[in-house]
Structure 1
């Protein structure tokens, strides 16, 4: 059958396509800026016919209509592998549940552990060879498609077509239903404006970056500040290898800081697995041969990333204890986001020749009652999830400085971490360290 004949045969309305979903199914739905809005609305219209349907995704940037209109949770359950702000609110109401992951392993979860009955995702328009491009989200989609019995794609004319890599497309022969969405735009994730504290933390990290380093950045005020500071620096021949492509990388490229010519892998190219940002980022990605889209078991696997010399990994944290354990995903027992790829890059950067891993956090936070608390604690808040073990953590950075914990004994760690805590909390932390028998009198 000719490709266009097959296309026309499989092209249906959103309402027709989602009839493939049955009660009890698991549906792979959305990740980040890849959001099949027409399919979401059509699924919502079927809610009275469906029960116990498990929807799965993560980093959702727009409301999920089938969850919003199912307040009792009788029809749909949202299962998230990484919670953004919207999903966090759903979880607090009991409408969403977290799937603990090590992000580099998610494609394997899809192939070996997770049930996937239907894949319903957004793609770019089909090319002349019958391939639909995943665009802003590669992640684990190819693996999920391998296991699903039904594959539905919603075509978004505004989805950028990106270069691979591999597993960044799906062929029409693997697709069951095609829904034409026209020009849908993409959800925007504005870069958070960096605070003065963010800038101070970023400055400590910037001093550790050398010409030819390969950068991994997360999202948020501090990484955004660092991206701008790198763009304004005199660094040269930087590379990019990251799970998430954000606006900060575009700033670095436009300033001439990124060439990728020192990379051991993907020389001259920026490797990523999913992207979210402003329209500037999406325009930059369109048909750009400098961008290399990969599944997350390539971008994040420490065995792969560690082969890149001078890999610099920058990630944030919620709190850290005096042993050096890091929590980056919960406030006590309340889930905030997820482990994502942080542990992947903590391991990968440290094992890279000349590489460095940074965990960055402001020294304090202010609660809803206006009380200030230290993020460096003698012991973790009860119920907090350990994202990075004490043995794995290398650099820890606050606005008061940076310390390298590798090779330090318990008393050295306590001393080092207290030295970069907010001065108002240092005496109390010393007293607690003494009680824990990890403070050495000098």
Structure 2
């Protein structure tokens, strides 16, 4: 069949598409930048007549219309693969819940039946190409697995979604699509780096960048510190860098535009920048659009420890919320308060260390101020009650604050405690030493 003819036969309005939704359905709602917009608006209109819907997505970049409903919890639950600020607020309203996952395994959850196949999978896509394919844009992640296990697949075409090249599983063919919505073409939602880098961010970045060799393969997480590292790399003398990352962020564009990235030393996918999803500013989306240097791939490839570790000199850089004196890292909760998600941090911590010459860095400011304006340490004797351990004490490699960097691999408990206290804020060191003594993990003073 001619693709244009098939396109016409499958074209519907968003109002027509939502008629397929019935109470009790599971709906996959795209991922990050590809969360549906037109479909969401129409679903919100009929949601008061529905109940027991289960909707899955993650890292929302705008508040869906369905979230704005009165008594939303009476009609649906939002099941998030990775929480963001919008979703944290929804938790308090009683309709949002985190799905604890190892992100690299997510496609398998769908394919093995560990997670229910959706009744409907709907997401924004780029316009159809001449071969009948709709690009998932910068959100390949797990979307093909979700579509393969959905009873109905609905795509919402947006001319502003960049056509991101693969890889594989980066696009879906019209033959696998049941309905096509032509949306209102809203601009791609932008995610900044959290503002200008602070002096703390810059200090941490300097400590990390001096550890990066020429020819290294990079993974950057989201947040101010990884972005500060990216900016510093762009200004450095480093060369022949490669990219293999979960999330593609603006920092990579800056590094590439500075001529530091060519991928010539990568062991896999030479000359290509490989990623599972991307979110940032318009600069990033324009860079990814039709760029053959950039390789969009599913997350079970990008985050596979075996693939990560196959790259020599792999450098992984991620944020944390807290770390305790045993070396346990919490990057997703503070106590029982859900902040983000496990994502792929542990996969990259493990993979980087297994890499020949590889290093994993967990970076965090030594302190933060609470709502009362009190200074609090991020280095704790033990994690807050209820805090989830993202990286176990055996797997944590380098930890970096503005007061220095320490390598925790192979250290005894007293050595780990001493190393971590040495990079804590000076105001808290004596107190942490007393805590370590009380826990029988202190041997001598580091003063």
Same fold (TM over 0.5): yes
Aligned to 2:119: 117
Aligned to 1:419: 422
Asked if 1 retains the 8 angstrom alpha-carbon contact of 2:246 and 2:277, the reply is: yes
Which structure 1 residue ranges, 4+ long, deviate > 4 Å from structure 2? Answer: none
Matched, 1:389 2:384: no
Aligned to 2:314: 311
Deviation at 1:331, TM superposition (A): 1.1
Alignment of 1:248-267 (within 5 A): 248-267=251-270
Q: 2:184, 2:47 → 1: CA distance?
A: 25
Q: 1:162, 1:65 → 2: CA distance?
A: 27
Give the one of 143, 147, 165 matched to 1:141: 143
Asked if 1 retains the 8 angstrom alpha-carbon contact of 2:234 and 2:260, the reply is: yes
Aligned to 1:63: 63
- Normalising by structure 2, what TM-score? 0.97
Alignment of 1:131-210 (within 5 A): 131-192=133-194, 193-210=196-213
**Cα shift readout 1:230-280 (whole Å, capped 9, x = no counterpart):** 000000000001011111100000000111110011100000011100000
Aligned to 1:402: 405
Q: 2:314, 2:413 → 1: CA distance?
A: 27
| CA separation of 1:174 and 1:72: change in aligned 2, threshold 3 A | closer
Matched, 1:293 2:296: yes
Asked if 2 retains the 8 angstrom alpha-carbon contact of 1:237 and 1:262, the reply is: yes
Q: 1:316, 1:3 → 2: CA distance?
A: 45
Asked if 1 retains the 8 angstrom alpha-carbon contact of 2:30 and 2:143, the reply is: no
Q: 1:47, 1:429 → 2: CA distance?
A: 52
Deviation at 1:4, TM superposition (A): 1.3
Aligned to 1:284: 287
Q: 2:2, 2:444 → 1: CA distance?
A: 80
Deviation at 1:377, TM superposition (A): 0.8
Aligned residue pairs, count: 442
Deviation at 1:370, TM superposition (A): 1.1
Asked if 2 retains the 8 angstrom alpha-carbon contact of 1:71 and 1:95, the reply is: no
Deviation at 1:114, TM superposition (A): 1.1
**Cα shift readout 1:178-230 (whole Å, capped 9, x = no counterpart):** 00115321101112221110111111101100100011001111111111100
Give the one of 339, 343, 348 matched to 1:345: 348
Q: 2:339, 2:164 → 1: CA distance?
A: 31
**Cα shift readout 1:276-331 (whole Å, capped 9, x = no counterpart):** 00000000011001000000000001011110111100001011111100000011
Aligned to 2:339: 336
> Greater shift after overlay, 48-57 or 202-211?
48-57
Matched, 1:431 2:400: no
- Normalising by structure 1, what TM-score? 0.99
Aligned to 1:87: 87
Asked if 2 retains the 8 angstrom alpha-carbon contact of 1:139 and 1:294, the reply is: yes
Deviation at 1:71, TM superposition (A): 2.8
Secondary structure at the aligned position of 2:34 is classed as: coil
Secondary structure at the aligned position of 2:12 is classed as: coil
Deviation at 1:90, TM superposition (A): 1.1
Asked if 1 retains the 8 angstrom alpha-carbon contact of 2:73 and 2:93, the reply is: no
> Greater shift after overlay, 145-154 or 14-23?
14-23
